[in-house]
Amino acid sequence: MRYVQDIPNPQFKIGLYAWNGKYIVKIEAGPYEQTYKISELDVSSADEVLLLLDEPFLSRVAGRFRDMDLDWQQSADRHGVL
């Protein structure tokens, strides 16, 4: 996987990579990660991928991270760990 660039964001660590004909966007928050793969054929450049990371999209990403954390905590509670 080839590193392309970091994408500045105050809430998340976002990295852009290229691999196997795809752009890969990795978004991290604490122990959680979301990965999105975009075919290089679907966009004209890496800059176009950055346009997809708009406020409505990142707001949904934040909600998904909250859901991931809730799921993890509920599982830990059910099993008495963590």
pLDDT, tens digit, 9 for 90 and up, residues 62-73: 999 999 999 999
- Measured CA to CA, the distance from residue 1 to residue 60 in angstroms comes to 26
DSSP state of 21: T
Report the predicted TM-score, pTM, of the whole model to 2 decimal places. 0.94
The torsion defined by the Cα of 63, 70, 9 and 57, in degrees rounded to 10, comes to -20
Q: Give the H/E segment covering residue 76.
A: helix 55-79
pLDDT in tens, 24-50: 999 999 999 999 999 999 999 999 999
- Measured CA to CA, the distance from residue 14 to residue 31 in angstroms comes to 14
